[in-house]
Amino acid sequence: MKFFLDTANLDEIREAVSWGVISGVTTNPSLYAKTGGTLAGYEDHMRAICAVCDGLPVSAESCADTTEGMIEDGRRFARIAPNIVVKLPVCTEALAATHALAQEGISVNMTLVFTVPQALLAARAGARYISPFVGRFDDIAEDGVEQLSNVCAAIHNYDFGHEVEIIGASIRTPNHITQAALMGCDIATVPFAALKKAVKHPLTDRGLASFLEDWKKVEQA
């Protein structure tokens, strides 16, 4: 399973990229708003992320609500950098836009996916990436991991005539990462804080502390 970073924060992206574990970045309007960025600065910010990511796929989300608007955004975003992926929410307008953009060779990441039918429709329309949400399902007392697993099973059953990868989104915990990997999810897009949590384990900390303590004895001997 590959890791994408789910953030628009350039410092977080620079740091995670330096660890050598990141295969892409996903952003959304809420994540961009958190950076304090402006509407006018949006494309420059995406350009800066693409530069840090050096060819890795970077999803930039369109907030248009018509097919024409999404296609227009998609074409404009695609000119930012060759590694831009246009992110569209699953709805009929976006299916049509995905179909048109895919025919032009522009990659689409279809987001806000919660069901198998939505995922199948996204793949049929030509989406390169499909993003089912895990945490938000858990928020409403449903099983987000099970939903992601259903989407993976259904999508991996078929050949859509183009490459399709599933991005587990709304990933919040190391356990979400574990479950996504065990079910064969292609990618998990993980917020920086959750990625840092995934590196940690109390037994690792305790083991390291005892090794360092013992090393002092070696130095003194």
7 binds ligand I22, rule: CB under 6 A:
no
CB of 168 vs ligand I22, minimal distance in Å: 9
The mark string for 39-78 relative to ligand I22 (x by CB under 6 A, - otherwise) is --------------------x-------------------
Q: What is the DSSP letter of 16?
A: H
Q: Which residue among 135, 138, 150, 178 contacts ligand I22 (CB under 6 A)?
A: 135
For 112-153, give the DSSP string: EE-SHHHHHHHHHHT-SEEEEBSHHHHHTTS-HHHHHHHHHH
The mark string for 94-133 relative to ligand I22 (x by CB under 6 A, - otherwise) is ---------------x-x-------------------x--
CB of 131 vs ligand I22, minimal distance in Å: 3
Q: Can you say whether the dihedral through the CA atoms of 91, 92, 96, 97 is positive or negative?
A: negative
CB of 60 vs ligand I22, minimal distance in Å: 10
Beta bridge partners of 85: 59
Q: Which residues are catalytic?
A: 87
Q: Which residue among 22, 24, 26, 165 contacts ligand I22 (CB under 6 A)?
A: 26
Q: Kindly indicate which of the ranges 62-70, 168-176, 177-185, 203-211 contains the residues binding ligand I22, using the contact rule CB under 6 A.
A: 168-176
Token pair listed for 29: 């309007």
Rounded Cα gap, residues 189 and 50, in angstroms: 16
Q: Which residue among 53, 167, 177, 180 contacts ligand I22 (CB under 6 A)?
A: 167
CB of 70 vs ligand I22, minimal distance in Å: 15
For 55-92, give the DSSP string: TS-EEEE----SHHHHHHHHHHHHTT-TTEEEEEESSH
3-state secondary structure 191-211: CHHHHHHHHCCHHHHHHHHHH
Footprint of ligand I22 (CB under 6 A)? 6, 26, 28, 59, 87, 109, 111, 131, 135-136, 167, 169-170, 172, 189
